[in-house]
């Protein structure tokens, strides 16, 4: 069975600082990995996805993530935080055990950006 662990339920950064949100996964097969963002009272929006092509994945809003198989990690980064990045972020895995993309999510990390 697959699982996702997000280290740090809350992360606080200054505007302009590096954003690093950590995600580790477990999977018995090569996974597909996703990062979603959720703003208050809204659904989840896809930031980026890893599909076994390039290990460094670029997404929307300047975010990127690197798949590291040896570390079973898929950490999300952004070089310079904006106030508008304040939201909750979820890492998710589709371990390929089904043919239709059933996702397992981490517990989420709330990102706070202060001036």
Where along the sequence are the contacts to other proteins (CB under 8 A)?
A: 4, 9, 32, 36, 41-46, 49, 51, 90, 92, 94, 98, 100-108
12 versus 51: smaller Cβ distance to other proteins: 51
CB-based contacts of 43, cutoff 8 Å, min separation 6? none
Selection from 84, 104, 86, 85 nearest residue 94 by Cα: 104
Give the three-state DSSP class for 84: helix
At closest approach, how far in Å is the CB of 110 from other proteins? 9
CB-based contacts of 99, cutoff 8 Å, min separation 6: none
Q: Between 17 and 44, whose beta carbon lies closer to other proteins?
A: 44
CB of 84 to other proteins, least distance (A): 19
Contacts of 56 (CB under 8 A, 6+ apart): 64, 65, 66, 67
Judged by beta carbon, residue 36 or residue 74, the one nearer other proteins is 36
Residue closer to other proteins by CB (options 28, 107) is 107
Taking the complex as a whole, the smallest distance from the CB of residue 17 to other proteins amounts, in Å, to 25
């Amino acid at each position: 069975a697959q699982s996702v662990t997000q280290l740090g339920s809350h992360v606080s950064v200054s505007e302009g600082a590096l954003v690093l949100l950590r995600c580790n996964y477990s999977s018995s097969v090569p996974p597909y990995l996703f990062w979603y963002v959720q703003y208050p009272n809204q659904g989840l929006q896809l930031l980026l996805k890893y599909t076994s092509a390039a290990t460094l994945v670029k997404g929307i809003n300047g975010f990127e993530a690197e798949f590291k198989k040896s570390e079973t990690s898929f950490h999300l980064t952004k070089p310079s935080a904006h106030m508008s990045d304040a939201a909750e972020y979820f890492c998710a895995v589709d371990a390929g055990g089904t043919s239709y993309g059933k996702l397992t999510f981490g517990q989420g990390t709330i990102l706070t950006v202060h001036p």
